């Protein structure tokens, strides 16, 4: 049977991952898209990490290639998108899985430095916009395309760090604007809001800040109503797969929480 994104050309920004004991959202999504038939260009600032993802895809019989880009650099973003189009002939799927908080120096409003806040905006919001800016012309030319941007449930919760919450709220507004402005071109834009997910970015930064790993995991598990356990990157990947697939062909401008019920508790 054909996969749910069979023969589609996908580019996944943030398709490598931070080192850690679990799998990251971007890597899981790249693997799942490939497993469902897409040809995937895996982009990460760390080329070796992108290549690890590609090796995993190839080992499972999928098609993928790796590229390095810093999403803060417009020339690099434009170059990898052009490379994807050259390699696969089109761009059907743009998946933006970029963002960080503590690793970029995030803090409460009175403690956050101007330099750190600007750096968070550059990565979490401007970098995502740049990818969309340079992928949209190809999608408009072909008259179709799916964009999924990864936001965060921090937007709707009492998250203590101002940079991440503010920029991830901006991602929702960006996505809604793209959905409205590009519907006439057959392009869909949607957002996924991960809740408490067991990823290296979420866990390792807190461990590095001095919290015992067991405490980090236990505290997060305790805060999730559904099953009393954090989600995994595969939960985010499956939500993204649905939004990128033709099954979601009449869905655009949606922000989908994937949080185990935390947002309604």
Burial of 187-207, coded b for 16+ CB within 10 Å and e otherwise, reads: bbbbbbbbbbbbbbbbbbbbb
Cβ proximity of 167 and 121 under 8 Å: yes
Cβ proximity of 39 and 5 under 8 Å: no
Based on the residue annotation, tell me whether 161 is a catalytic residue of this protein.
no
Burial of 92-125, coded b for 16+ CB within 10 Å and e otherwise, reads: bbbbbbbbbbbebbbbeeeebeeebbebbbbbbb
Q: Which residue in 159, 161, 164, 180 is the catalytic one?
A: 164
Q: Write out the two tokens for 152.
A: 């965060």
CA 175 to chain centre: 13
Distance CA 5, CA 2 (A): 8
Catalytic residues, which ones? Answer: 164
């Amino acid at each position: 049977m054909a996969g749910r994104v069979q023969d589609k050309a996908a580019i996944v920004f943030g398709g490598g991952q931070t080192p850690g004991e679990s799998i990251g959202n971007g890597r899981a999504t790249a693997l799942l898209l490939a497993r469902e038939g897409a040809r995937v260009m895996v982009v990460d600032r760390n080329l070796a990490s992108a290549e690890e993802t590609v090796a995993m895809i190839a080992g499972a019989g999928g098609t993928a290639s790796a590229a390095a880009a810093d999403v803060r650099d417009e020339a690099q973003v434009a170059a990898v998108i052009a490379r994807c189009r050259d390699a696969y002939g089109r761009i059907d799927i743009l998946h933006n899985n970029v963002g960080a908080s503590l690793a970029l120096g995030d803090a409460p409003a009175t403690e956050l430095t101007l330099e750190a806040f600007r750096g968070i905006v550059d990565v979490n919001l401007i970098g995502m916009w740049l990818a969309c800016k340079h992928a949209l012309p190809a999608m408009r030319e072909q008259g179709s395309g799916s964009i999924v941007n990864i936001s965060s449930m921090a937007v709707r919760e009492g998250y203590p760090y101002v940079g991440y919450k503010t920029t991830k709220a901006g991602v929702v507004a960006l996505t809604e604007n793209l959905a409205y402005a590009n519907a006439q071109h057959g392009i869909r834009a949607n957002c996924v809001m991960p809740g408490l997910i067991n990823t290296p970015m979420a866990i390792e930064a807190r461990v590095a800040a001095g919290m015992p790993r067991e405490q980090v995991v236990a505290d997060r598990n305790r805060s999730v109503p559904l099953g009393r356990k954090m989600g995994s990157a595969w939960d985010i990947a499956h939500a993204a797969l649905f939004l990128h697939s033709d099954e979601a062909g009449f869905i655009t401008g949606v922000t989908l929480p994937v949080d185990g019920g935390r947002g309604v508790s």
